[in-house]
Amino acid sequence: MDEAVIYTILGEAGFTKMVAAFYRRIKQDPLIGPMYPEEDLAGAEERLRDFLLFRFGNDPRYQAKRGHPRLRMRHAPFSIGEAEAVRWLELMDEAMDETNVPASIKLELNAFFTMVAHNMRNRQE
């Protein structure tokens, strides 16, 4: 399944709901929640959402606001080891279930999220 198919099936509304469910969990998470800017959680939610719309649907908003993603550089200020990557993936897994992301799409998104999450690790356990 390629990116365009995922985007067509899930749509902007599907990605938006999924990311909102993810950030509701982030807010309450004792391990990785404190890394996120309390005063700008809505902004953080929008950045991840726009990034995914860009990655899967070529939507121009992320690049217009943020330029090149440079995700490793942007995660460098945070201490991310195995535990943080696993937690991020668990919260996203729950968000996908809550918002009824179809199983076949969940599998594809999960492969992408897993690859990126482990790539963001900057701390040895």
Nearest distance in Å: CB 30, ligand HEM: 13
Our finding on whether 48 is near ligand HEM (CB under 6 A) is: yes
Q: With respect to ligand HEM, which residue has the nearer C-beta, 24 or 66?
A: 66
Select from 3-11, 17-25, 45-53, 96-104 the region that touches ligand HEM (CB under 6 A): 45-53
Length of the chain equals 125
d(CA 36, CA 17): 19
Contact map string, positions 75 to 104, toward ligand HEM, x by CB under 6 A:
x--x-x---xx--x----------------
Q: Which chain residues interact with ligand HEM by CB under 6 A?
A: 32, 35-37, 44, 47-48, 51, 66, 71, 74-75, 78, 80, 84-85, 88, 113, 116-117, 120
